[in-house]
Amino acid sequence: MPSILDVSATEIDYTQCVIAIHKFQNILIMTRQLIQNPKNTGIKTFARKTTHFFEFPKVERHYENAKLIWIVRLRWAAIGLFFFLAGPGYIFGALNASTLGFFIGIIGFLFVFNLFTYLIFADSKKPVGSVFICFQLALDLTALASLLLISGGFENPFIALFLLNAGLGGVLIRGQFSLPFIFLCHAFLVTLQIPYVIENIEARQNFFWIYIFASHVLVFSGWLVMRSLGTYLESHFENQSLLSIQTEKQDRLRALGALAAGFSHEFASPLNAAVLQLDRLERILTESNKVTVQQIEERLRQAREGVLETKDSIRKCEHVIHSMNAAQLDVRTYNLKPVNMMNFIQEIADSWCEEHRNANLVILNTLKNSLLISPINLAQVILNLLDNAFEANPGGQILLSLKTENNWVILSVDDSGPGFSKKMLQHRGEPFITTKKQGTGLGLYVSEIFVQSLGGHLSIKNKSEYETGAIVTLRWPLQSTIGSHP
């Protein structure tokens, strides 16, 4: 039978638990209100950026590179954590004057190594292998074991980070390399446990050995669960990559089909005109009836006209062929390099204005960073768009704008012409669709192929009904083209 004192103590403990839970709920409510308050935009921005920092990055077709970028981000967080724990660890006795230097030294080594990895490998477009990912995590594991060994060993509460490292190894390291990693985890864990066992061997309590054994079970279980998840993600990514390749092939075939159909139409018209003129010329030259001098002069005049019209038709055929060649369907031939966009846009504008001295071009460029792009192809796209805008209204203002918005690069050309026809809006980006007499309709098509190669899209629209003009906008992800300054 519990005594009155026992019952009172139980009631007091229960009451304190209820009060603690109520306080915790109030803290959560206040935190949510603080974040949702429109005045606290700085807090919301910080929370959004922090969440984005720890998100798994998206790197097209290079899954291992995405893993490496994520590892680098997590390592920055771990470096910051251990650096700020060095002071409290020294104050509370986990570190002393001799071990503090080693502790800071290991953190400094991790900082230099992570910076080197980011600058040389993480920001590179070349794919990395599974062995490199395994090496990265093994180095992190070695550094973690060293930090724990000099700051309390197995009794350090941050020993739980072994479970996190084992889980990361399971989900990020491919099968044949993941098993040696988990063996390394257990080996370092045993290394940390040996001094702890020697100091507490006299206790000889069953719970003591269960605690030692349970830590290995938790580490192995965490690795096993995350390895299953990693296997699924790898299979899913491979299927997505195959699907993306197949879709790209189908899109390329459809593009080739559209180009072939348009080419057949555009090429056949001037070719048929040339054939008719040649037939007419043949009839003139082969007629053997008696003719007067005036008739001979008339036939010579007709022959000269026929030759000129035939040459004009052949030039149109040549123009179509050159336009198709300029389309550059194969995006794999794009030569990517870091380009300073501020100077690049200004150079293109200056070059274009030299040929269009009457043009009223306004540049609005707020992008000061460099982008990893194909400068030749981007220059071709911009020049095509500027030519279209100038032809729409030679005396009107043309606005060339380049900016970033929500991690997207936005390039737009704004003119004050009559705007796009309904036909152009319905068949946006299709080859050989144009309203210009001498146009081929490949300008917007080339622009769309280029921006799609960067993972973006092209859009065209007319201005409002109260303002004439059209806007062509290219959008592509900032992350896919971000580069260092040349």
Rg (CA), the chain: 35
Do 103 and 150 form a contact (C-beta atoms < 8 A)? Answer: yes
pLDDT at 12: 40
**Eight-class DSSP state of 466:** T
Domain final residue pick, 327, 347, 370: 327
Distance of CA 248 to the CA centre of its chain: 17
Same domain, 24 and 59: yes
**Eight-class DSSP state of 124:** -
DSSP letters of 399-420?
Answer: EEEEEEETTEEEEEEE--SS--
Same domain, 237 and 120: yes
pLDDT at 108: 93
Residue type, 325: N
3-state secondary structure of 195: helix
Same domain, 335 and 322: no
Same domain, 348 and 320: no
3-state secondary structure of 361: strand
Same domain, 88 and 207: yes
pLDDT at 369: 77
Domain final residue pick, 246, 275, 297: 246
- Phi and psi at residue 320, to the nearest 5°: -65, -40
Do 159 and 215 form a contact (C-beta atoms < 8 A)? Answer: yes
Same domain, 175 and 322: no
147: tokens are 């930090």
Same domain, 57 and 168: yes
Bridge partners, 477 (sequence order): 408
Same domain, 289 and 234: no
Q: What is the CATH number of the domain that holds 453?
A: 3.30.565.10
Same domain, 23 and 160: yes
Closest CA to 326 of 384, 275, 368: 384
Q: Tokens 């800071």 sit at which residue? A: 104
Tally of CB atoms within 10 A around 423: 10
Same domain, 283 and 338: no
d(CA 87, CA 56): 31
Same domain, 457 and 382: yes
pTM over the 0.75 mark:
no
What residue spans of 356-482 are helical by DSSP H? 375-392, 422-426, 443-453
pLDDT at 183: 92
Domain final residue pick, 217, 246, 275: 246
Do 385 and 447 form a contact (C-beta atoms < 8 A)? Answer: yes
Going residue by residue through the chain (486 aa), what tens digit of pLDDT does each one get? 444 334 344 444 445 555 555 555 666 666 666 555 545 555 666 666 677 777 777 655 577 888 888 899 899 999 999 999 888 888 888 888 888 889 999 999 999 999 988 888 766 667 788 888 999 999 999 999 999 989 888 888 888 888 888 888 888 888 788 889 999 999 999 998 888 888 776 655 666 778 788 888 989 998 899 888 888 888 887 777 777 666 665 655 555 555 555 555 555 566 666 666 666 666 666 665 556 666 666 766 776 776 777 777 676 666 666 555 554 444 445 567 788 888 888 888 888 888 887 888 888 888 877 888 877 778 878 888 888 888 888 878 889 999 888 888 999 998 888 887 777 676 665 655 565 555 555 667 778 878 887 888 888 888 876 778 888 899 988 765 554 433
The whole domain housing 346 covers 331-483
Do 277 and 313 form a contact (C-beta atoms < 8 A)? Answer: yes
Same domain, 201 and 299: no
**Total domains present in the chain:** 3
Do 35 and 44 form a contact (C-beta atoms < 8 A)? Answer: yes
Tally of CB atoms within 10 A around 187: 11
d(CA 161, CA 151): 14
Helix H, strand E, coil C: the string for 216-271 is: HHHHHHHHHHHHHHHHHHHHHHHHHHHHHHHHHHHHHHHHHHHHHHHHHHHHHHHH
